[in-house]
A and B are shown apart, each in its own frame.
Chain A
Amino acid sequence: NDTWLKLPGCQSVANTTCDFSSLKLNVYDKVKLRIRAEEGNNTSPWHNIDSFTLFEKAQIGPPKVHLEAEDKTIIINISLPGARDSVMWALDSSSFTYSLDIWKNSSSGERRTETVYSRDKIYNLSPETTYCLKVKARLLPRKNGIYSPVYCIKTPVANKLPPPENIRLDSKNNIFVLRWDYPYANVTFQAQWLYAYLKKIPGDSSGKWKQIPGCKNVHTTQCVFLQNTFRKGIYLIRVQASDGNTTSVWSKEEKFDAQLQITLLPPVITMKSTNDVSLRVYISAPEESENKPVNQNFPLIYEIVFWENTSNAERKIREKKTDFTFSKLKPLTEYCVKARALIEDDKWNKSSGFSDTVCEKTKPGNTSRTWLIAGICAAIFSIPVVIYVVKLLLRCISYVFFPSSKPPSTIDEYFSEPPLWNLLLLTSEEQTERCFIIENTNTISAVEETNQTDEDHKKYSSQTSQDSGNYSNEDESGGSKFSEELLQQESE
């Protein structure tokens, strides 16, 4: 149910190519094409092309390059043909990046490849040399254009005053220090800045450079300005030298990111000794005088230096956590610690100063602690043992000095002898408690020995009552034992 439309510029063409630029089409829509050959009224079948989007298939054409040379630099001005009002690159007025290859025209052509803006400069060239270059436009991430033709230009004689070189920006507390190198003395310098994004927008940004306060007509190869001059963002900085009569060309535009320039402040560290001869360390962010928490601009790791207060042997570790423990230390020893913050990515090579040193003593040893615990456990476990031994002793003593009135165990054995057939005999009977009036043989022996002290008598009576209690309240087998005894006695 597709409605096929005639492709303008491609109807009845004799060649094998045709131009359908006049088609007003959204370059991001999916389209399908089909072609057939015609001869008079005969037509071949359609050849179908799979659906595609024009943007996908489009190639970026060769850009146009305008060159100028001054001192040891080449000024380039790149424009894409038809980019301004083209249908294809309507969304990409600021999206193109350019990749430039440059080499010396002489035989030793070693190539340099650089990424440049549409209006840019190539630096660090030799004077009075012919250089050749070619440029291709790119749309990140993956679209590469066709290279332009090669353009060549000769650099002029070097200026009397060269431009400053090696511009770098350092930060200290709340100021920035801009430094550069210059071979000659008795010159003044001025520095300017520009928002980096202006280079992306088509058009000339040369009029938009602004003076850096505190960096005009300076006599030293550095100048200082407050950090709050530049709020967050990416900027370009350039420096120029002047000796009163002549000025040098501008230096290379150095990019700097205000957010990444800020100094790292040393962290705050505290340490506590824990019970198992360890030291627990806490790292926290430093107090900020102004409101912005500076250190949060980066993912930080900490370098901790740890040593015994008496020795000088230092242990250095790197840790991302802000709460960790040093364990397996010597008891009752003083240890010291200090730390500094580092940016997680090594390439940045930026660190804060060290924090204050904090020292703390470890708690007494684990070994004496374990002995103590072992001792306590031993004591606890030995108590029942001691009690048992004491009880045994008392029993021995009471046996020797205060013999018990219990019948010897052999009689017990006799009494308890055939339990089984007792059970057989007596299971049919009701389980009632039988009570007998017993002539207590014990009382006879008690009477015999009444000349003993009252205490012993009391002992006895308690014993006898116990015995009697035993005899009367015993279970059936016991009771049966007794009846057995009675029977035997009666029989005798």
Chain B
Amino acid sequence: MSTKPDVIRKCLWPACLVGLLITGVLSLDCNLLHFHLRKVTWQNLRLLSSMSNSFPVECLREIKAFELPQEILSHTQPVKRYIVEAFYEMSIQAFNIFSQYTFKSTWENDYLKQIQIGLDQQLQYAERCLEEEEKEEDDSKEMEEDGINHSEATVPQLSNLELRRYFNRIDNFLKEKKYSHCAWEIIRVEIRRCFYYYFQKFAPLLRKK
């Protein structure tokens, strides 16, 4: 009577192992890129923290809860590729946001430049990794030339949508506050929180082989 679930359970483990093996094989080329992605993300975090010493008191009342999405990947052991995609999404969104700013003082603009350089690095590492994995997928299956792939899995789309909604809230906040100084301070803290949270959560998974 209990044989069927047992059989399923027996088949599930090898299937999971095979799945992990496949993902391991797919990410072989990306190992160095994962290393650099983690390294550069951590450096950017520290850079974001190093700008100003303390948060200006007058901006405290303008703080808004942006609701950082805590569960963007549904599996407990997400595939490395989805993690890289999530890092890519948050990096490009952060890059977009910081690129909309210009400051009056030179040292602030220098700092901004450093952030953009750092984020660009993050982006390029993530992009290269995703492109390599895509090339491997291209070899195995045919991709449609035009239009959207409707056969895509819904899981990775969900992660990007949640992140996008979050950054959309940040973007609306900035537009609403007309890119004021307080708005800048608030979202700088917020983006740092976002990177820190996901770095803690997913960077160790990128390290595993």
Interface residues of A (CB under 8 A from B): 26, 28, 53, 55-56, 59, 90-95, 97, 115, 136, 140-144, 146-147, 195-197, 200-201, 232-234, 257, 259-260, 297-299, 343-345, 347-348
Contacts and interface: CB of A to CB of B under 8 A. Distances in A.
B85 to A, nearest CB: 5
Contact of A91 (B85, B145, B168): B168
Given A26-B168, A141-B156, A299-B35, A95 B92 contact: yes
A94 B161 contact: no
A234 B127 contact: no
Nearest to B32: A345
14 contacts: A28-B168, A91-B171, A115-B131, A140-B88, A141-B88, A144-B147, A146-B146, A200-B123, A201-B99, A234-B121, A259-B36, A260-B36, A299-B35, A344-B31
Contacts of A299: 31-32, 35
Contact of B147 (A59, A259, A345): A59
B156 A142 contact: yes
Contact of A146 (B99, B116, B147): B147
B117 interface: yes
Contacts of B31: 299, 344-345
Contacts, number: 107
A95 B163 CA distance: 14
Main SS class of interface, B: helix
B195 interface: no
Interface in B86-145: 88-89, 92-93, 95-96, 99-100, 113, 116-121, 123-124, 127, 130-131, 145
A200 B95 contact: yes
Interface string B4-20: 00000000000000000
Contacts of B99: 93-94, 200-201
A233 B44 CA distance: 11
B149 interface: yes
A233 B121 contact: yes
B161 A144 contact: no
Contacts of B96: 91-95
Contact of B160 (A93, A141, A257): A141
When A and B form their complex, which 8 residue pairs have the shortest distance between CB atoms, in order from nearest? Answer: A197-B120, A233-B117, A345-B32, A28-B165, A141-B85, A197-B116, A95-B92, A94-B96
B119 A197 contact: yes
B57 interface: no
Contact of B161 (A28, A97, A201, A259): A28
A197 B32 CA distance: 21
Q: Which of A94, A195, A344, A348 neighbours the largest number of chain B CB atoms within 10 Å of its CB? A: A94
A55 B148 contact: no
A234 B95 contact: no
Given A140-B88, A140-B127, A94 B118 contact: no
A245 B140 CA distance: 53
Nearest to B170: A91
